[in-house]
Structure 1
Amino acid sequence: MVDIGRLEVCHKSVLPSGSYMRLALIKEGESLICNRCGSVSHAQEFYLPYKGTYYCPQCIHYGRLTTEDYLVWNEQSIYQPRKIDFQWKGVLTVGQQKVADRIITNYQSSNDSLIWAVTGSGKTEMIFPLIKHALKSGGRVAVCSPRIDVCRELFPRIAEAFPNEHPLLLHGNSEENYRFCFLTICTMHQLLYFYHAFDLLIIDEADAFPYEGNTMLMFASKNALKENGRMLFLTATPSKFLLNHLRTNTEILKLPRRYHGRPLPVPKLVWQNNWSNCQHFWFKRKLVELVDRLIDHSFVLIFCPSILYMHQLYKQLVGIYGEQIMTTVHSEDPNRKEKVQLAREKSFKILITSTILERGVTFEQVSVIVIGANHRIYTKSCLVQIAGRVDRKGNQRNGEIYFIFNRKTTAMREAIYEIKWMNQLALEERRDGL
C-alpha cells in the first residue's frame, strides 16, 4: 500500500493497484508540464532519444521523471478524533493567546492565516494550540521552513510538546528515513514528495530564501495540502511578494511585542570606509575595539557578506583572540550543526558567520555585528532578522546590534524604520493592556 498522501514514482509497467495515479510528465505540443514540481519546459530540449521519452529538468535532483512515469498516491480519509498528549507547560501572553485563538477560529472556518510577529515574540509557542486542535480532530500537520537550521531548531521543541506523536524531521540530510506520522517537520523541498497529504501546513519564515519567489516550492506546498486543507504563514518580515500571493481567504494577524516585553534592539551605525578590506589597519582596529568591549558581557556574533570574506576576517582575528574561543560557520560547513550547538553551550565567545544564521537560531547573551551592512546581500528583511538575534532569551538587557557600513542603503533605512515602528506598536499595545 502506498502511504497516504506520499507520492511514489512508478513506471507504467509496474503500476500498483488500489491507488490513485496520474502521469508524472505531460507533453502538450512543444511543452512539458510536470505534475510534481509544476514547471513548464520546452519539450525538444529535454528529449531522451535512446528511450523515446522526455524528462523534467527542474526537479531531476529529486529523481528523474519521464513521460512514461506515473505519480501514485493513496488519498483515503483518516479523520478519526484522537486524544493528544500535549506536554507544553508554558503560558501564553495576552497578545499571544489572542493570536492563538484567532488562528484556530480561522482553521475551523476554512480560512488561512498569516502571523506577522516580531522576532522573539514566541511564534512557535503560539502555534501549539492549533497543532493540537488539528491533530485532535484526526488531521495531519506539517511544519515547514525553507531553512534546515530553522527545522532543526523547531523539531526538539515540537517533539517535546507532543511526545506521543513521534514527529518526523525531514530534510536533505535527514538521519531518519521517511515513515508515516501525523506530525512532520520538514524543509520546503520535501513537500515535493507529498500529494494531498496535510490538513494543516504551517510555513515558518515564509519570506526566506529559497521559498521566497520560488514558483516550484509554492506549487509543492499547494500540492501537499489537501483540497480543504488550511495554511498558516509565520514571518517577522513579510515581503511584498508573499503578501501579494496569499489566498483571498487569508487573515493577517500582527504581534509587535516580544514575549519578554522588551523592545527590539535598534541598530547602532558605525561608518567605516574601508570595511571591504578586512586587513585595513583602521578598520581592523575599530572592529577589535568593538569586539573587546562586547566580549566582556556578550557572546559576539559577526555576520559577513560572503563566505570568502568570512574566512579572510577569521584569519585576521584568530591571531588576536585564538582559535579556542572563536570559529566560523556557513552553509557549506560539514560541522555546521555541531558548531551552532557548541555556540549555544558557550564553548565559543566569537562566532563569525555568513547570513545562514540570520534567522531560526537563538543564543543567550548575544551581541551582533554586521560587517558591510550596505552590501546588496543584506535586504531589509535580512537586517531585521539579524537584529532580532539580540535579546531573544534570558534576562540579559544589554545586548547590542551594530551595522558597519560605508554607505547608507535603502535596506538599512527600511530595517531601522521597521524596528522602530514595531517597537512603537508594542508600546501602544502595552498601554492598551494587551
Structure 2
Amino acid sequence: MIEVGRLTRCEQSEIPSEGFNCVAVEKRTDWLLCHRCGSKSLATSHFLPASGKYYCPACIHYGRLTTTDYLVWQEETIAPRNITYRWEGQLTVGQKKIAEKLITVYQDKRDSLVWAVTGSGKTEMIFPIINHVLSSGGRVAVCSPRIDVCRELFPRIAAVFPDENVLLLHGNSEESYRFSNLTVCTMHQLLHFYHAFDLLVVDEADAFPYEGDEMLHYARKTALKKTGRNLFLTATPSRFLSQSLAADTEILKLPRRYHGRPLPLPQLIWQNHWENCQNYFFKKQLIQLLERLIVDSFVLIFCPSIAYMRQLYQELLKVYGESELIAVHSEDPDRKLKVANARKRAYQIVLTTTILERGVTFERVSVIVIGANHRIYTKSCLVQIAGRVDRKGEHQNGELVFMYNRKSGAIKEALAEIKLMNQLAREGEEGGM
C-alpha cells in the first residue's frame, strides 16, 4: 500500500504511474548507495547469497532495503485555506519581532536560526510562521533529536492548531503513519519522507544524536521540498551547527527569558569524592544539600551515566523512601510515565541522565549536577541544564549546583555563556528590547 506523503518501499511491479520513484539501494561498481539514508557501504560485505541481492546495513532497523526494492512517494496537493489558530498567550516585544521576522525570511526563501536562551519561549515564537505556511497550503514538520522534546511539543502545538489532526511520530509512537499537514517527529522519522515539507522546524538543533550525524542531516535535506525552508531553534549553537548553515541564513537572537529573570549561575561545590557513590563525605554533603533544597523545591539530580545513577539511587534509598525518590533514564521502559508523574510533583527527588537536559519543564525545581566536570557534560549540556531552573511560574528560589573535582573547560565555557546571555538580556531591557 502506497502511503501518501512519505516514502514507501515496494516491488517494481507495484510502482504507481504517478509520483516519484527510484531504486532503493543502488550498486555502483563495488559499493552501494542507499537512497533512503544516504549511506555508502561496501557491496561485498552486504550481499544476500540466497536471493542475489545487496542491502543497506545503515538503516536496516527501519526495514531492510535491497537492490531490487523501490522507494515511492506520492504528494497530495494542498490549496491555500483558512486555519483554526487558537493561542491566547501574548508575545513579548522581543518574541514578536522574531516571530514577524521569521515570516519575512521565509517569504524571502531563506533559512533562519533562532538563538534564544532557555526559557525564552521559542515554541510560542514559531506558532505564527506555522500558521502562515499552513494557510498558504504548505506542509510543516516540527522535529527534534529527542523523543521527550517531541512529546512535550506535541500537545502544545496540537492545542494551537486543533483542526490539523497533528501527527506525532517517533520510535515508540502509539499510532501509525497517516497523512497530516502538521507533523511533530524525531529527526530519525525524516528518513521516511522525500520532498514532503515546505517548512522544517528543527528544535534543539545542537542536540545529540543530530549533531554531527551525517544520516540525520541527509534525512533533513531530503525531507524538505526544493522550495522549502529550514528553521533551526537552539539555546546553545555549536560550532558544527554554525558552520553547517547556508551563507544567507538569518540569525535571530533573544537573550531574555520570557519572565524576564536571568539564567541562574551555578554554585560550584568542590567534591573530590563524587566518583564514589558510597563515599561517606560525598554522601553526607549531598544529603545535607538535598535536605535544604527539598524544603522549597522539587530536585533534579543529573548523573554522568546510567550505571552511576543506579548506584546513587540505591545509596539514597537508605535515606529516602521509594515514594520520595525516583530514577529515570533513556533505557527505562517506564520513562514516559515517570516524567509525567515528576511534572505532577509525585516525588521530591528525581535522579536522571542527560535525557532531561532539555525540552522538559518542571515548576519549583532545583538542580544538582553530579560530576559536572565529566566528559559527558559539554558546554551546551551544562547551559541547557541551567535552563531547567526557574523556567516557569513565579518561583525564583530554585538553585543550580555543580559538584566537581576539576574545573573543566566545559564548566568555564558554560559560566561564560550564561553571564554573556544575562548581560545581553540586561542591555536589551535597558534599551527597550
Fold-level similarity (TM above 0.5): yes
SS of match in other structure, 1:164: coil
Q: Secondary structure at the match of 1:414?
A: helix
Cα drift, residue 336 of structure 1: 0.6
Residue 100 of structure 1: aligned partner: 99
Question: Is the 8 Å Cα contact of residues 154 and 168 (structure 2) preserved in structure 1?
Answer: yes
| Aligned mates of 1:404, 1:20 — CA distance in 2 | 55
Q: Secondary structure at the match of 2:163?
A: helix
Alignment of 1:198-347 (within 5 A): 198-347=197-346
Note the C-alpha offset of 1:76. 5.3
Aligned to 2:431: 432
Contact 2:304/2:371 (<8 A) preserved: yes
The residue type paired with residue 355 of structure 2 is I
| 8 Å CA contact retained: 2:294, 2:348 | yes
Alignment of 1:33-72 (within 5 A): 33-72=33-72
**How far is the alpha carbon of 1:248 from its aligned partner?**
2.0
Which residues of structure 1 form unaligned runs of 5+? none
Cα contact 2:264–2:400 (8 A) shared by 1: yes
Q: Please tell me whether the aligned partners of residues 167 and 181 of structure 1 are also in contact (alpha carbons under 8 angstroms).
A: yes
Distance 1:151 1:88 in 2: 19
Q: Secondary structure at the match of 1:165?
A: coil
RMSD: 0.9
One-letter code aligned to 2:405: N
Moved segments of 4+, more than 4 Å: none
Per-residue CA deviations over 1:49-98 (Å, capped at 9, x if unaligned) read: 111111001011111111111110113542x1111111110000000001
Paired positions, count? 433
Query: What is the CA deviation profile of residues 177-231 of structure 1, one whole-angstrom value per residue up to 9, with x for unaligned ones?
Result: 1111100000011001111110000000011111000000000011110000000
Q: Percent identity?
A: 66
Q: Which runs of 5+ in 2 are unaligned?
A: none
**What pairs up with 1:340-419 in 2 under 5 angstroms?**
340-419=339-418
Q: Which residue of 1 aligns with 2:180?
A: 181
**Alignment partner, residue 7 of structure 1:** 7
Using the alignment, how far apart are the partners of 2:330 and 2:93 within structure 1? Answer: 37
Cα contact 1:2–1:19 (8 A) shared by 2: no
Q: Do the aligned partners of 2:5 and 2:179 also contact (CA within 8 Å) in 1?
A: no
Q: For the residues of structure 2 that align with 1:163 and 1:409, how far apart are their CA atoms?
A: 47
TM-score by length of 2: 0.99
- The aligned counterpart of 2:26 is 26
Deviation at 1:322, TM superposition (A): 1.0
Paired AA for residue 350 in structure 2: L
- 1:113 partner amino acid: S
> How far apart, in 1, do the equivalents of 2:266 and 2:416 lie?
10
Distance 2:11 2:49 in 1: 18
Task: Name the stretch that deviates more: 14-23 or 144-153.
Answer: 14-23
Q: Take 2:299 and 2:222, find their aligned partners in 1: how far apart are those partners?
A: 42
Return the alpha-carbon distance in structure 1 between the equivalents of residues 52 and 382 of structure 2: 50
Q: How far apart are the structure 2 equivalents of 1:364 and 1:76?
A: 42
Give the deviation of 1:27 after TM superposition: 1.1
Q: Distance in 1 between matches of 2:396 and 2:76?
A: 52
Distance 2:388 2:405 in 1: 23
State the distance in 2 between where 1:44 and 1:424 align: 58
With the length of structure 1 as denominator, give the TM-score of the two structures: 0.98
Contact 1:275 1:371 in 2 (8 A): yes
Per-residue deviation, residues 14-45 of structure 1 (Å, max 9, x unmatched): 32332321111111111211111011111111
Question: Residue deviations 1:113-145, cap 9 Å, x none?
Answer: 000000000000000000000000010000000
Tell me the amino acid that sits aligned with residue 132 of structure 1.
N
Q: Distance in 2 between matches of 1:308 and 1:280?
A: 16
Partner of 1:121: 120
Give the aligned residue type for 2:244. Answer: H
Q: Paired residue for 1:141?
A: 140
Deviation (angstroms), 1:13: 3.2
